[in-house]
Amino acid sequence: MTGTERTMEALWSAWWQRWPRWVAWATTLWAVLYAGFGLACALSGTSLLYHGGGSGASGLGWAVVAVGALAALASGGVALHGLRPVLRVLLWVVCALVGIAAFSLLMDVIALMLGQGVDSPASAANKALAAVGAVLLAATARSDRRPAGAAVRVPSAAPRFTQLVAWAGSLAFVPYAAMKLVWAFGGTFAGVTGEEMLATLERNGASGVFLTLEGWGLDPTVLLAVLGVFLLWGLVRPWGQVFPRWTLFLRGRRVPRWLPLAPALLGAATLAPYGVVGVGYLALATSGVVTMRLGDFHSSGDALLAGWVGVVAFAGYGIALTVAARSYWLRTRPVGRMAGWSAVRSDRRG
């Protein structure tokens, strides 16, 4: 490591150790911006919800204003007076609210990655702002739990149970990938041919990149599934905590915790609820309690078959990602954090 690299690393470490002090102010700034965004949407009549071909609930902007105001009150109080118990509770409540608002952000991110536009720019912006706010609010709520000089842990593998869950989450994608690849290569699955599926994609506004990859037999969603499985195993194996040799200047360095955790938490918060709710709906449809929507399929049986393949993949992977992210979070926590709080609890008992 050169002298310049040591200096930059020391500056970064010194700045990062001060994060409990600046995070409350950063959260307050976000809250003001978020409330302003909601106010602009409310006054202009811009909807923050999208339902298929139409939009509604333009009044949701006022709810965003209220949430932003609560966040500003809580984080501003922390910045000025420190983290009090009442403020901590308020921060977690607002964090849960913006977390709900950020639901399905992953779908918009995937659409943009594949060169497709989002259904509603205002809705996508609201989800993105809410996701940033959820991270800042959670960090502020825990800003008194980071002792200075905490040591990092040695890279380690997740417990056996967590790795078994990761295997289950990975295998849940196998039927989904097979279904998609059958269509990509022109075959027929659930009564729908590859040509019909390609025509459906074009009709639904799929991008040129998406259609080109489909024409090559490379379904983009399968490629994203491969990346998702890579992320999942990076969370449960030691190699996910250290940069590999091919990263040149970063090789051998520790991976920042937020780098894998950010997409993991985003994916878990979207796919797990979506998959679990989907399983419930399909169970009701299979038993005849509700009527299955045909969509682009020719019969309810075909729609159910494709639906089960999809939701089992999303639910299985989403749950596995949740378990793996929790394990990664616990295994990469600075050592001093646990020791520090044990000492505090001991002092209080004494």
Model pLDDT for residues 34-64, shown as the tens digit of each residue: 999 999 988 888 877 754 444 445 578 888 9
The better pLDDT of the pair 244, 29 is held by 29
The whole-angstrom separation of Cα 9 and Cα 262 is 22
Q: Does the pLDDT at position 138 exceed 70?
A: yes
The better pLDDT of the pair 71, 153 is held by 71
Average pLDDT over residues 131-146: 82
Cβ(283)–Cβ(326) under 8 Å? no
Q: What is the pLDDT of residue 67?
A: 92
pTM greater than the 0.95 cutoff? no
Q: What confidence category does residue 341 fall into, taking pLDDT thresholds of 50, 70 and 90?
A: very low
Q: What is the pLDDT of residue 61?
A: 84
The crossing angle, in degrees rounded to 10, of helices 121-141 and 19-44 is 150
Q: Does the pLDDT at position 334 exceed 80?
A: no
Q: How many Cβ atoms are within 10 Å of 164's Cβ, its own excluded?
A: 14
Q: What is the pLDDT of residue 298?
A: 85
Q: Give residue 252's region: left, alpha or beta (phi > 0; psi -120 to 50).
A: left
Provide, rounded to the nearest whole percent, the portion of the chain with pLDDT above 90: 28
Q: What confidence category does residue 90 fall into, taking pLDDT thresholds of 50, 70 and 90?
A: very high
The whole-angstrom separation of Cα 219 and Cα 216 is 8
Average pLDDT over the chain reads 80
Instruction: Please give the radius of gyration of the chain, using alpha carbons only, rounded to the nearest integer.
Output: 23
Q: What is the pLDDT of residue 103?
A: 76
Quote the Cα angle for 220-322-308, to 5°.
55
* Least confident among 30-39, 83-92, 282-291, 331-340: 331-340
Q: Does the pLDDT at position 104 exceed 80?
A: no
β partners of residue 242: 254
The whole-angstrom separation of Cα 180 and Cα 173 is 11
Q: What confidence category does residue 171 fall into, taking pLDDT thresholds of 50, 70 and 90?
A: very high
* Least confident among 58-62, 161-165, 303-307, 322-326: 58-62
Average pLDDT over residues 316-338: 85
Average pLDDT over residues 22-28: 89
CA 266 to chain CA centroid, Å, is: 0
Q: What is the pLDDT of residues 202-221, one digit of tens each?
A: 777 677 777 777 777 778 88
Q: What is the pLDDT of residue 291?
A: 84
Average pLDDT over residues 124-151: 78
| b (16+ CB within 10 A) / e for 89-103 | ebbbebbebbbebbe
| b (16+ CB within 10 A) / e for 241-280 | bebeeeeeeeeeeebeeeebbebbbbbbbbbbbbbeebbe
Residue with tokens 């939009």: 55
Provide, rounded to the nearest whole percent, the portion of the chain with pLDDT above 70: 78
Q: What is the pLDDT of residue 345?
A: 36
